[in-house]
Amino acid sequence: MKSFIRRYQWQEVLIGLLVIAVFIGTQLSPYFLNYLNLANSSVTFVPTALMGLGLFPIVVLGEIDISLTSTLAVSAVLYARCWEAGMPVVEGALISLAVAVVMGVVNGVLVAVAKLPSMAVTLGTMGAYRGAAYLIAGDAGINGIEGGYASLGSTWVGYIPVPVLVFAIVAFVIWVIMAKTNYGQYCYAIGNQAPAVKSAGISITFVKIVAYVLGAVTAWLAGVVWAGQYASARGDNADGTIMLVLTIVVLGGVSIFGGSGLTSGVVLAVALLFVVQSAMSLANVPGTTQTLISGLILLIAIVLPNLSRLKELIVKKPTTK
């Protein structure tokens, strides 16, 4: 039991924060505890949340991918172009998926084969893919998307929006991969730089490339949801939101050095950020305050666990030379 509590320590902190946030939300606005409202606004959160899930395995590996938002844009505009050309949904989806996979492979190869630092590589591809998205979309973008193409972004199954369902499915799949498969174990091992990895004959290159492809696939899904939900796609879709995606992963308790972090953490972080943002938005909190509060939450969340070191410092000082 004790090990269970220790293993999920971070999740417990998140749940605590979540409860507090929900409480504050109810106090701030009478519209907060309305299921339909929450369901409606959750839809807009899904693309970012999906990218967070996609970034998770990559960070566990000890790498990073800041080009996911650009991959979303390319996927969305390509998918939209297929709609425009009158192609059947499945074809359009597969074509854009294939391109997304290629983008993931490029990232993966540069990081794992050429052994270049992932921050630099994905900084480069972030710009390059974004430019590609603009070129595909043209100045005006594509709009008026409807029908089958829009189904993943704008329909409901009973009382649950399909995007939320998609998120739930992807979260489940990522959980299965990371917690229940050998592949997931390899990710953690590589992230911890365990010497056993090399001797076990695992191809680090392959694991990394797969992780980047996985990330790209979630970005593709996010792009499809986006195109459906906004009935349009442009080159600047999701531009500048990568910091929020990184925040989701970090807030989810995933160590940026790699080797640890659980899917449940990422999901809870998504929930927490969603609740906080919705609460502030429903209460019409001014934009400036919202920016500050989002920042403070992240800062508090990352400082709190490390405050014990502060005690160490103060106690240690007199004895050190």
Window 156 to 185, contacts with other proteins (CB under 8 A): 156-159, 161-162, 165-166, 169-170, 173, 176-177, 181-183
Listed ranges 3-11, 16-24, 36-44, 263-271: which one lies at the site for other proteins (CB under 8 A): 36-44
Q: Identify residues 116-135 at the interface with other proteins (CB under 8 A).
A: 116-117, 119-121, 123-132, 134-135
Q: Please answer whether residues 239 and 73 qualify as being in contact, where contact means their C-beta atoms are separated by less than 8 angstroms.
A: yes
User: Token digits for 138?
Assistant: 């043209």
Q: Residue 53, CB half-sphere, CA atoms under 13 Å: how many?
A: 31
User: Considering the rule CB under 8 A, would residue 277 count as an interface residue with other proteins?
Assistant: yes
Q: Please answer whether residues 17 and 272 qualify as being in contact, where contact means their C-beta atoms are separated by less than 8 angstroms.
A: yes
Site string for other proteins, 52-91 (x = CB under 8 A): ------------x------------------------xx-
**Least Å distance between CB 1 and other proteins?**
29
Q: Which regions of 162-318 does DSSP assign to beta strands (E)?
A: 232-233
Using the rule CB under 8 A, which residue among 144, 197, 248, 315 binds other proteins? 144
CA distance 265 to 68: 20
Using the rule CB under 8 A, which residue among 56, 62, 216, 234 binds other proteins? 234
**Least Å distance between CB 130 and other proteins?**
5
CA distance 146 to 140: 18
**Least Å distance between CB 285 and other proteins?**
9
Q: Please answer whether residues 219 and 51 qualify as being in contact, where contact means their C-beta atoms are separated by less than 8 angstroms.
A: yes
**Least Å distance between CB 269 and other proteins?**
13
CA distance 26 to 31: 8
CA distance 134 to 234: 7
**Least Å distance between CB 172 and other proteins?**
9
Q: Identify residues 2-21 at the interface with other proteins (CB under 8 A).
A: none
